[in-house]
Amino acid sequence: MLKVGVLVSGRGSNLQALLEAARDGSLGAEIVLVLSDRAEAQALLRAGDFGVPAEYVAPENFNSKDAYDQALVEKLKARNVELVVLAGYMRLLTSTFLAAFPERVINIHPSLLPAFPGLNAQAQAVEYGVKYSGCTVHFVDERMDGGPIIAQTVVPVKQDDDADSLARRILEEEHRLLPQVVRWIARGKVRVIGRRVLVEE
Ligand code: GRF
């Protein structure tokens, strides 16, 4: 089974979706380690509930971003992690990290990229006035929310939406899309050709 490590910073509802899919066997992958850059992340508790090793790694104990990322890489490699999932991880990864897991780091973002990268994507969508937004799972490269797109789900924006109501509607789809992409990767169905990602039917 594909060994997956998950990086988190907060609530961990996407982590929860992965943990549930792993437990019921539908993920075809095993979550072997959860690492957080925030001590108070609810995600750490969720991992504990599923008996998955979870650790807070304090950024202030390292004197550079590279040193921090190198420590994360060592922890992931020690558990033989083959795929890294960013599930609400709020830090940009360095090239040190990415070089250790080439084409093996994915992220979920709550918009239809390349629209609305960065923070508060749902508020950006409401303010811009788009009629549809959604979520994107993509490979991670050095650009913020800029790597090759693996899959997207479209979600309608309603007239009376605010950022919170739109975020809730998108989140439901995130919880479907992220486990689905991990399942595809675990089954070897995903190929990257330049910026285009092919998923075998
Ligand atoms: C999600 O909206 C995800 O798309 C974004 O951060 C949020 C994390 O939520 N990257 P959770 O921690 O998984 O509940």
Reading the chain (201 residues) residue by residue, the pLDDT tens digits are 999 999 999 999 999 999 999 999 999 999 999 999 999 999 999 999 999 999 999 999 999 999 999 999 999 999 999 999 999 999 999 999 999 999 999 999 999 999 999 999 999 999 999 999 999 999 999 888 999 999 999 999 999 999 999 999 999 999 999 999 999 999 999 999 999 999 998
Q: What is the CATH number of domain 107-201?
A: 3.40.50.170
Q: How far is the CA of 196 from the centre of ligand 1 (A)?
A: 24
- Token pair of 50 as six digits: 């599923």
Q: How far is the CA of 17 from the centre of ligand 1 (A)?
A: 11
pLDDT at 2: 98
Q: What distance lies between CA 143 and its chain's CA centroid?
A: 15
Could you state, in order of their start, the residue ranges of all structural domains in the chain?
Answer: 1-102, 107-201
Taking alpha carbons only, the member of 150, 61, 67 closest to residue 104 is 150
Tell the CATH superfamily of the 1-102 domain: Formyl transferase, N-terminal domain (3.40.50.170)
With 0.95 as the threshold, say if the pTM is over it: yes
User: Treating both helix axes as pointing N-terminal to C-terminal, what angle do 163-186 and 13-23 enclose, rounded to 10 degrees?
Assistant: 40
pLDDT at 173: 98
Cβ 134 under 6 angstroms from ligand 1: no
Active site residue 138: no
Atom of ligand 1 nearest to the CA of 17: 13
Q: How far is the CA of 97 from the centre of ligand 1 (A)?
A: 21
